[in-house]
Structure 1
Amino acid sequence: MMSLDKLRRNAKALKKSYRAGDAAAIARVRAVLGSPHLFKHADALHVVAREAGFDSWPRLKFAVEMQAMDRAARAERLKVALYLGQAWIVEALLAAEPDLGSDNFGLQCALYDIEAVRRVLDRNPAAATRAIGVRSPILHLTYSKHFRSDPDRAGAMIAVAEALVDAGADVNDSYPFETGASHELSALYGALGHAGNLRLAEWLLEHGATPDDDESLYHATELPTLDGVKLLMRYGVKTAGTNALLRMLDFDNLDGVRLLLEYGADPNEKAPDHPSGQAMPKIPALHHAARRGRDGRFAELLLEHDADGNAVWEGRTAYAVAMLYGNLSFARALAAAGYANRLSEAEVILAGCAEGRVPDGRPLARMQLSDEEKRILTRVILWEDALDHAKALVAAGIDPNVSDEMDMTPLHLAAWAGLPAQTAWLLTLSPDLTHVNGYGGDLLSTISHGAENRLDTDLRDHVACARLALDAGAPLRQAVLDGAMDESLMAFLSDWAEAHPDRIVPR
């Protein structure tokens, strides 16, 4: 197989010939793409990949890179792909080396290779509890997303779980996500919260896994259906201290909120800090729903389940929060229930910004604002139709580069969400393009994470956000270029790196 450099040169030559009207080049392009309106370098890469027998440039690129890996590197890459759910990489690695999964017991568990697992345990039952890297065998199993690409192996997956537990593995096993951390992530969280593997999660619960692991219920609210939450409820999960109700309110899921409230979740709870040490927001559900843009139905539902409409958080009522975020539906529902109140001077200005009224003289810059008021742009910027609101806030004196609780700036948040209009505007406000957020991500890695992990990527444009960031001078680290897994973004970054090799910075 050709080198990546030669393949890229071929793509570059194809693009040049196509644009020059060369008949052979036009025929090659039409055979793959039809008659493209525009023919970009990424299109040329795609044609070269298809001619080489691959579905896309990222897949061809990985095949070439795989040839340079030794067996140990391939096995490590297989482990990562199983953990991240990168099915096509798993397929490519195993197609090239079908026995690669036999390199260690953790891979055999993650691939649901029940025959190999039984052979190992027959020889040495202690292998069931011996860690491979940072995770034990049952954790390699539960954190694997292989079931998504190979659903026919579900029976073998359960058989592996049974074999491990029969040999002494603990269904409540866990591991520290970061070296030295006191808080650990459980096997159940791996199956349910990380992998979304309801069948394996149910098996773990049936065999004694505790549902109260400080993670699973919270992350079950993020799943596409309520089945994970209902599963945990069948096994008596406790809602107190989990922040699950607030997380459910992050989504426009009235049925999910009703489910938690009817189960007994307390809308007035101010949860203690997470066992990991991460501070909880201590915000009542009404206030949180108001600032997350939930409509009046959510206010009515929360009030029906004894939410305190007079509760004060950060010096204001839920009604005031709804007004300053421009959530008029929520505010009207509270007012109808008798919970309207007079707004402060700052609240009046913020409420006006929500309606697009821009005050003169940046008055908020001279006021003593609460942390929530200072951070209001980090909430608003994620709303698709709130650009005018965001601009009014900055014109009124809100700092456009203020960070939220996880040190995510408005720019990082907008780019992660794949919102080009917001991203383009924020880039005009002198942001720090080298900023690293609390998750350890810079701007481009944050965009890459959003492209890979958001459930609504078909409605967003992470490639446009990446282009805007790079045009503004954001650094592109080699690690981001190598690690991008969204195929559209990978193709764009490869194209951009080809055209700007001097802009790539070390890992």
Structure 2
Amino acid sequence: MSRALPPLPHPDHLRRQAKDLLRAWRAGDVAALARASAWQLQPPWQLAAAQFVIAREHQQASWPRLMAAVDARRATALDEADFVAETVALALGRGWNAPQPARALAGLAARPVSHPALALLRGQADEALSLLSGTALHANLPPWQAPPLVYAAASGLARLDSHRTALEHTVQTLLDHGADPNATWTDPDNPGQPLPVLYGAVARSRSLGIVERLLAAGADPNDNESLYHAAERDDPAFMSALVRAGARWTGTNALFRQLDHEHPAGLAAALALGADPNERGPGGRRALHHALMRGRGADSVRRLLDHGADPAAPDDVGFIAADYAVRAGDRASLALLPTPGAAPRTMRDEEAFAAACAAADEAQARTLLARDAKLVSRLPPHLLRLLPEQAQRGRHDAVALMLALGWPVAVKGDWDASALNQAAFRGDAAMVRLLLAHDAHWDERNGYGGNVVGSCLHAACNEPVAGGDYAAVLGLLLDAGAPAPEDLDALPSDLQDVINARA
């Protein structure tokens, strides 16, 4: 059987064909089995085999080749405006979605460049200038109505070795022609938030070379965005470049953002570059407080103390670093905090019980519970949320103890997310397995409206945590009854394999 792709094929239609063929095989359908025998396929029937048949019937050697052909056909068939809009969104990222440079490049390769924004995304400086001739060179350019400089400086294709140098050259060419290094643009999904072009280079293209060129041309490093996002990078060179150009730490929360991640070299660099560990942040919290909240280890606490962090400084409620260490169950960090003046408050029974659970001190927790069997039922919301907080910190021992002692499994914490959402976001398969065994449910919602599968997929695609096993987490959630996502194109291949294996 030979089939032709339609003028505007959709990958979901082909996926459904493969799933239908698999079901027909398993049902013993004679015609379907004949399609398998044409390619010498035998049971047990798997989705990968059905996909292979669909691909061969469309004159492609494999399923990945068929998907590539679909992308190319769609790129050719889409009208110009739709193609440009789709490609720009893939190259720059849009809303919460990170850039997908490989997908953007696949579409660009299938179609001649005829729009200046596309030439800029690829780093084709001469073509872009030619296409822009006869117009105001630096006027806002569709589809995002952004200055031409933005399409090059924020292009995710700069993450690819094949395009990095060309995009750096294109940015320099535009600057040499008078482009404004302090130009702003807006993401269509966040129209009320103008973004500086320097932010695009730091957070979207992640190109140090482009950052340095913009700064050399006069980009303002104090733009309320760039230093904050530079603190997310593994490479401290982004922070260093901004600080050398005059970036100020005060008021940016950049040190707090750095402490959201386990990047020891980045913390050392931030402090060496002048970040103030005693600056007050949201809620009056200081860097020590935030480090303990985020589960940073004793090494980070020691480094902050060595750079002058005040362990006795209170937040707006009056809590000091020792209180945060107790709440986090971090006795190693607590031992580093000097006394007097920095000792934790005297705790009520509920607080002492919660602190023992957070520290995975089963003996102390059970002693307190034996004295008052209703302790768990009396825990106030700010103590109940220790469960998702410890899940967010990866404290398996503490979470296991809390669950064993009757902690409500679906209680919400940071970003209104349950412990299961937090574990899925981290790619923590062991934690997910533990929580599911204690009746956590895949449909628990987070503060953004998504469920646990959404937490897993968003992190896997846009903010993966180092060491996270998102494929294993997704498999556990699907096995627990979660429906498989329909749109697979944006997912990493290992997640697609998990979904296809369970089809």
TM bin, normalised by shorter chain, reads 0.7 to 0.9
User: Would you say the 8 A contact 1:171–1:207 is kept in 2?
Assistant: yes
Q: 2:470 aligns with which of 424, 438, 462?
A: 462
CA–CA distance in structure 2, aligned partners of residues 161 and 403 of structure 1: 45
Counterpart among 59, 64, 67 of residue 73 in structure 2: 67
Scaled by the length of structure 2, what TM-score is found? 0.80
**Structure 1's 28 and 13: CA in aligned 2 closer, same or farther, altered over 3 A?**
farther
Of 56, 78, 93, which residue of structure 1 is paired with 2:107?
93
- Whichever residue aligns with residue 267 of structure 1, its letter is P
Map 1:153-192; keep pairs closer than 5 Å.
Answer: 153-177=163-187, 182-192=192-202
Residues 1:54 and 1:323: Cα distance change in structure 2 (over 3 Å): farther
Aligned to 1:487: 493
Taking the aligned partners of 1:130 and 1:245, their CA distance within structure 2 comes to 35
Match of 2:336, SS state, is helix
Residue 333 of structure 1 aligns to a residue whose secondary structure is coil
Is contact 1:382-1:414 (8 Å) kept? yes
What SS does the aligned partner of 1:231 have?
Answer: helix
The aligned residue for residue 34 of structure 1 is none
Question: Could you say which residue in structure 2 is the equivalent of 1:265?
Answer: 275
Q: Counterparts in 2 of 1:196-275, with a 5 A limit?
A: 196-271=206-281
Q: Which of 441, 445, 466 does residue 454 from structure 2 map onto?
A: 445
Matched, 1:363 2:375: yes
Percentage of identical aligned residues:
28
Partner letter of residue 308 of structure 1?
D
After superposition, the Cα gap between the structure-2 partners of 1:196 and 1:305, relative to the gap in structure 1 and judged at 3 Å, is same
Kept in 2: contact 1:286–1:318 (CA 8 A):
yes
Partner of 1:331: 334
Question: How is 1:315-326 mapped onto 2 (pairs within 5 angstroms)?
Answer: 315-326=318-329
Shift of 1:423: 1.9
Quote the Cα distance in structure 1 between the aligned partners of 2:476 and 2:280. Answer: 40
1:237-281 Cα distance to aligned partner (Å, 9 max, x none): 11111111122223333332232223322212223xxxxxxxx45
Change (3 A) 1:14 1:116: farther
Counterpart Cα distance in 2 of 1:475 and 1:127: 47
Q: CA deviation at 1:428?
A: 5.0
Offset of residue 120 of structure 1:
2.5
Moved more, 213-222 or 257-266: 257-266
Cα 1:41–1:139, aligned 2, differ >3 Å: closer, same or farther? farther
- Structure-2 separation of matches of 1:191 and 1:349: 48
Contact between 2:249 and 2:274, CA under 8 Å: does it hold in 1? yes
Alpha-carbon distance in structure 1 between the residues aligned to 2:130 and 2:205: 26
2: distance between equivalents of 1:6 and 1:183? 43
Q: What is the deviation of 1:432?
A: 6.4
Matches of 1:454 and 1:29 in 2, distance apart?
40
Asked whether the equivalents of residues 42 and 495 of structure 1 are also in contact (C-alpha less than 8 Å), the reply is yes
- How is 1:72-151 mapped onto 2 (pairs within 5 angstroms)? 72=80, 73-84=82-93, 85-97=99-111, 99=112, 101-102=113-114, 104-126=115-137, 128-149=139-160, 151=161
Matched letter for residue 347 of structure 1: E
Deviations 1:14-44 (A, max 9, x none): 8999xxxx9x98x9789xxxxxxx9783543
Letter in 1 for 2:323: A
Structure 1 residue 206: deviation in Å? 0.7
After superposition, the CA RMSD in angstroms is 3.7
Separation (CA, whole Å) in 2 of partners of 1:494 and 1:404: 33
Aligned partners of 1:281 and 1:483: how far apart in 2? 41
Tell whether 2:288 aligns with 1:286: yes
* CA shift for structure 1 position 329: 1.6
Tell me the amino acid that sits aligned with residue 468 of structure 1: L
Instruction: Give, in whole Å, the separation in 2 of the partners of 1:95 and 1:176.
Output: 27
Three-state SS of the structure 2 residue aligned to 1:414 is: helix
Specify whether residues 183 and 148 from structure 1 end up closer, same or farther in structure 2 by C-alpha distance, changes over 3 A only.
Answer: closer
Give the deviation of 1:483 after TM superposition.
4.8
CA contact under 8 A between 1:42 and 1:491: conserved in structure 2?
Answer: no
Q: 1:59 to 1:366 in 2, by over 3 A?
A: farther
Q: Does 1:390 align with 2:377?
A: no
Report whether the alignment pairs 1:411 with 2:415: no
Is there any run of 5+ residues in structure 2 with no aligned partner, and where? Answer: 6-12, 29-33, 94-98
Question: 1:252 is matched by which residue type in structure 2?
Answer: E
Q: Distance in 2 between matches of 1:217 and 1:48?
A: 51
Asked whether the equivalents of residues 12 and 44 of structure 1 are also in contact (C-alpha less than 8 Å), the reply is no
1:441 Cα offset (Å): 3.4
Report the CA distance between 1:299 and its aligned residue.
Answer: 2.5
Q: 1:59 to 1:250 in 2, by over 3 A?
A: farther
What is residue 503 of structure 1 aligned with on the other side?
A: none
Q: CA offset at residue 188 of structure 1?
A: 0.8
Distance change (3 Å), C-alpha of 1:284 and 1:120: same
| Counterpart amino acid of residue 76 in structure 1 | A
Contact 2:426 2:464 in 1 (8 A): no
CA–CA distance in structure 1, aligned partners of residues 141 and 465 of structure 2: 39
CA contact (8 A) 1:193 1:220 kept: yes
Relative distance call for 1:61 and 1:495 in structure 2 (3 A) is farther
Rate the CA distance shift 1:156–1:92 in 2: closer, same or farther, 3 A: closer
Q: Which amino acid aligns with 1:221?
A: A
CA distance in 1 between partners of 2:380 and 2:142 (Å)? 53
After superposition, give the CA deviation of every residue in 1:367-399 in whole Å (9 maximum; x if it has no partner).
Answer: 445x3x343223211344x22311323455654
Match of 2:351 in 1: 347
Q: Is the 8 A contact 1:296 1:332 kept in 2?
A: no
Q: In the alignment, is the contact (CA less than 8 A) between 2:442 and 2:453 conserved in 1?
A: no
Mean CA deviation greater in 433-442 or 250-259: 433-442
Cα distance in 1, alignment partners of residues 45 and 146 from structure 2:
44
Alignment length (residue pairs): 468
SS at match of 2:195: strand
Identify the residue that residue 474 of structure 1 maps to in structure 2. 482
Inter-partner Cα distance in structure 1 for 2:448 and 2:130: 40
- 1:41 aligns to 2:46 (yes or no): yes
Match of 1:426 in 2: 435
Distance 2:156 2:257 in 1: 23
Segments of structure 1 that go 5 or more residues without pairing to the other structure are 31-37, 272-279, 500-507
